[in-house]
């Protein structure tokens, strides 16, 4: 049985929380509580909420990039259609992606726009 590392668990949990409540609606305490960790244990792995959020965004776009690369391997006549299908399927498959992206675009928090 494959075990998931604590940093991965933190990222997965934060991804769900950010998609539901947005960056501003989630605290380090919320993430720690959801994982049944202490805040010091959370800070052992990540120095800030901003760092966790950046990792979540990186993960989301890495997944999308991998799927787009598969679409771009199609014959030229099918690529445009496949890229659009990939975006749509990715958004439908992972509703967290859409929410995270929308929160990122609309947030007024200067901390994460830097």
Q: What is the mean pLDDT of each run of 10 residues along the chain (114 residues)?
A: 73 90 91 94 95 92 90 91 88 71 61 54
Cβ proximity of 101 and 60 under 8 Å: yes
pTM comes to: 0.75
The pLDDT assigned to 106 comes to 63
Cβ proximity of 100 and 15 under 8 Å: yes
Of 112, 109, 95, 21, the closest CA to residue 58 belongs to 112
Give dist(CA 14, CA 89) in Å, integer.
Answer: 22
Q: Which residue has the tokens 């799927």?
A: 67
Q: Which CATH architecture has domain 6-113?
A: Orthogonal Bundle (1.10)
Q: How many CB atoms lie within 10 A of CB 36?
A: 7
């Amino acid at each position: 049985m494959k075990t998931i590392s604590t940093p991965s668990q933190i990222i997965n949990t934060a991804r769900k929380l950010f998609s539901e409540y947005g960056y501003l609606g989630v605290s380090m305490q919320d993430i720690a509580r959801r994982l049944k960790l202490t805040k010091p244990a959370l800070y052992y792995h990540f120095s800030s909420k901003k760092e966790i959020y950046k990792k979540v965004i990186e993960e989301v776009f890495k997944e999308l990039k991998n799927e787009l690369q598969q679409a771009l391997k199609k014959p030229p006549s099918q690529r445009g259609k496949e890229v659009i299908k990939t975006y749509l399927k990715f958004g439908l498959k992972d509703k967290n992606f859409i929410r995270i992206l929308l929160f990122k675009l609309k947030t007024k928090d200067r901390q994460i726009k830097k």
